[in-house]
Structure 1
């Protein structure tokens, strides 16, 4: 073990820096809620939609866990790798299994790596921000109809878009990523959210779904309920965007999203309608990355959730997305790669939702949701 673990615990090397916010060592949180988390998420997609990449790494200090995953979708093959380890005292070490995320310069540049492994997925990527990251709060959210109940969500963080450069290899096939052809989104969130730790810590099952928009146009972008501006833009901070109407079309077999028209109101009162069309079966099924789906479902094979895996673990698989039965089996929390069009401008982006919950919301005619 490193010397600071053996001799200085519960201190870590981070405690040498003047960054303390409480009277505890850095490794301790200001909450004892087991669902506390801190997570990084990255995506990358080619401008023609051929290759779709998603990865993430999360820390769960009150569960003493760290886990991460990566997913590549190409030519109807969905390849995932996931790993977990004991967190220990050093929360600055963003390595789990063969995967590593390393910050080069704050709000500017990251390196993402995955070493050779048994699941056919490797990468070596340089990420560079293009939009201004702005702090924002997402919670708290309480259980409807209950008083003095534990919060479902209470979290915050920031988001941005960027370009990606480097290489990804999937089952021996190598793809070269260049900044002119590959773009993506990343976020860094922390706080408390449901789904962390699995069934023993879960407060509710999902009866509704968000329909998140992550798309970067030339001089503006949508990340959920925020408008992000280019680095150096004269407009300060970030703008606000409110989706006011969602018209959605679904696959008649799986009842999963394939197209949407979302009408958004900007904070200046302007209305912008964005048309999203799914690109083939380019969908990242995030249950394979340990996100929780409807009815409390975790990973398709093991039913793992973020923060739920004890000890060291490396796993993964490849699915054939040309089979509707496979897509139905692994669905529950999805990032759909889409072509987005607004005011004559087109871009590659992501729509995020829970399938088939989003279909059920349109079927019920919930306010703001209907069939396209």
Structure 2
């Protein structure tokens, strides 16, 4: 064991130095996620930065969808001993005021995407239900996450264009715990997994409140995880909305959602994805065999850029979709994240 600057703070949770987590599970992670958009189909920026203490790696990515352009910058380095150091190549995250204001930076680089943005939460950061999945004796997910809607200020540079950001919307989350990361493991008995991931995540921002909704179901339609709360900007307590229902409409012959309805006990929200971003393309969430979150990229820091255009590269665009969403209920119109994936068998497809 060796000390790090974090050990000087009274925050220990286990008889370990702070750079070591309390579990030896290789899949432990600790991650930031942000998205930023003007509530239109012009541009969506997604940013993530994670640490993987038991793999000794930290990495980051930024993905911008602008008209027909899908541009990614990603970076990785060895984690080292100081977990307070959130720089990864040209990326950096600064916590200005915990749970309220953060600064997210991608310094100018050769890959045509950069930004300097400040986040201000519009609702209190809200702890979501614990996500726990055991499959074939192995704990696959055991994590917690906070969610928050907010506003952005600063600038984004895409190619030669510098775009001012003033009051743009977005959502963020912070999650930590266990989920599959890093290099693939031998599947063993997990080969029996039917490979289903039926998922909806929809944090919605309205004028004076937000609705946070999660639905995950298994291959038999059983609920694995759900959330349905309304959180007010003035800090009032969460209001449970009842069991959420999800009714998507797919483009013919696909699992691409063109519209959806989310129902709660007393309200019904109409959802329209207006700018889809394929989160898993280039970012490390799972498609590229040579770049996954937590994957060791070697002893020297690595920075890469990946750019695709649509419709030419449409064949690459599959997997989890993070879309700018338009949400309407009871005469109110809001925007937020409409994140969905329908992979594998599910009763709705029989």
Same fold (TM over 0.5): yes
Map 1:201-240 → 2, pairs under 5 A? 203=190, 206-223=195-212, 224=214, 225-233=227-235, 235-236=236-237, 238-240=238-240
| Cα shift at 1:254 | 4.7
Given the superposition, is the C-alpha separation of residues 228 and 118 from structure 1 closer, same or farther in structure 2, using an over 3 Å criterion? farther
The 3 A distance-change label for structure 1 pair 47 and 332 is closer
**SS state at 1:353 partner:** strand
1:51 Cα deviation from its structure 2 partner: 1.5
**Equivalent residue number for residue 249 of structure 1:** 249
CA distance in 2, matches of 1:93, 1:205: 39
TM-score, structure 1 as length reference = 0.83
Runs of 4 or more above 4 Å deviation: 201-205
Judge conservation of contact 1:220–1:227 (CA < 8 Å) in 2: no
Q: Retained in 2: the 8 A contact 1:74–1:282?
A: no
1:185 aligns with 2:171: yes
- 1:75 aligns with 67
Matched, 1:120 2:112: yes
2:95 is aligned to: 103
Whether 1:154 aligns to 2:142 is yes
C-alpha change, 1:151 and 1:242, in structure 2 (3 Å) is farther
Aligned residue in 1 for 2:162 = 174
The number of residues matched between the two structures is 331
Contact 1:84–1:314 (CA under 8 A) maintained in structure 2: yes
CA distance 1:241–1:307, change in 2 (3 Å)? farther
- 2:268 aligned with 1:273, yes or no? yes
Task: Assess, with a 3 A threshold, how the Cα gap between structure 1 residues 83 and 206 changes in structure 2: closer, same or farther.
Answer: farther
Which blocks of at least 5 consecutive residues in structure 1 are unaligned? 1-8, 266-270, 293-297, 366-372
Aligned to 2:153: 165
Q: 1:104, CA displacement in angstroms? A: 0.5
Question: Runs of 5+ in structure 2 lacking a partner?
Answer: 215-226
Distance apart, 1:40 and its partner CA: 0.6
Give the alignment partner of residue 335 of structure 2, picking from 327, 330, 348: 348
CA contact (8 A) 2:278 2:319 kept: no
Counterparts of 1:243 and 1:60, CA distance in 2: 34
In structure 2, the residue corresponding to 1:15 is in which secondary structure? helix
Distance 1:158 1:316, change over 3 A: same
Higher normalized helix content (fraction of residues): 1
- 1:283 and 2:283 aligned: no
Indicate the RMSD between aligned Cα atoms, in angstroms.
2.1
Which residue does 1:334 correspond to in 2?
321
Equivalent residue number for residue 40 of structure 2: 48
CA contact (8 A) 2:279 2:285 kept: no
